[in-house]
Structure 1
Amino acid sequence: MFRPRIIPVVLIDGRGHAVKSVNFKNKIDLGDPVNTVSIFNAFRVDELVLLDIDATNSQRLISLDLLQDIASEARMPFSVGGGITCLEDIRNILSTGAEKVVLSSIAIERPEFVREAVDKFGSSSIIVCLDVKSNFFGKKEIYINSGKRNTKLNPLSTALLMEKMGVGEILVQSIDNDGKMKGYDLALTAEISASVGVPVIALGGAGNLQHMLELYRSTCVSALSAGSLFVFQNNQHAVLVNYPKQQDLNCFRNVR
């Protein structure tokens, strides 16, 4: 029976280390991302998302050498984002073995680039990540450059624009909830997933399977992703790479 994809997200910093953040700050070093991927292999995860969180601000592409090492180890589909600025970057990332690329800052600054990427590589290869944060007045807006710059764009309007550009999936990430392990932003995810016709992936705040199940029951998301949930043993941030057992994931079946 059908269940949503459950996707670990691995963040990579400028040193090529796997890390985890809280509100896009206070990074905790998790070590070699290739080793992390190897552990996820053993758990037979559905798929992975790999994001270089320093690439855009450093004006560089995620390391292709690192991606080749990861691809040689990975036994699951994986998507990659970090520093993409042109079609050649996408081609190079896909050539390492990645199934999809994740566009973030470039998609917000140049929405037409999403259309160009879709026309060249197909919508199924393109994900757009929307990083959403509450401003000083509590209004949720799109941020870019790893949460450092507020575009003042409305998340829903931006999601609808990305759909118009032909994107295959939209990853909705809550910066406010990032790393807190207290649950997803239900209102944000519900609004976007109910309004667009493309699959939506939720990210930011999951601390247990119940958080995921609550979101899946109350929204139209098609995939649930998390970082801290799959790399920490508890909310005290004791590092332990993990993934739910297949029987535990049966709670998602027949929910819809």
Structure 2
Amino acid sequence: MSKQKLPRKTKKQKERAQKILNELYTYYPNPECELDHRNPFELLIATILSAQCTDVRVNKVTPELFELYPTPELMKDAPIEDLEELVRTTGFFRNKAKSLKETSTILAEEFDGKVPQNMDDLLKLRGAARKTANVVLGNAFGINEGVVVDTHVKRFSNRFGLTKHKSNTDKIERDLMALFPQENWTDLSHLMIHHGRGPCKARISSAPDHPLCEEYGINCECQKMRDKEKKS
């Protein structure tokens, strides 16, 4: 997507985006991935497991999983029943176990047991959609191919008026890529997620003139709150 033509953004829009980015860095100076991992393979597997599951839960599951099956070669030969039991608490465990086994097989047989460092090859892996690929590229290899868009990033982007798209993750990602410098794309996702899990939760302050973010000392110009103020 980064090689495709992105939406045109005005200088004013980009300047505002930069101010928001700077402020986020002020409050979250060391943004990083919250999935525990020691290498690209572990990050890939953890990210696949994180679908419809919290990072906290995944981090409780992966230590035993990686102790038993630390490489693609070992994981591809793991009994599917064992994988299912190990990842059961992450939800959708049967599909996830199949994804882990099939992905490990592809890595072992087609990529010499190594996680590929490009979007096209990552998308060949079962359970690895663009979001997963962006996580792996950005955090394992330092490659800013795109912006990870999860529920927190969606909410943040809409409240801050960074996109007009409510649910289309591809279009939201393109808007963010067009607004923010490429070297910050990986950090940007972490920053928005940190803010979304903290002051910018889905349920916001009931008082229109007192956004929850301001309770944390962050003047975020929340679009949703500003809209409420106009109606009140």
When Rg is computed on C-alpha atoms for both structures, the one with the higher figure is: 2
Larger RCO, structures 1/2 (Cα 8 Å, 6+ apart)? 2
> TM-score surpassing 0.5?
no
TM-score by length of 2: 0.30
Higher helix share: 2
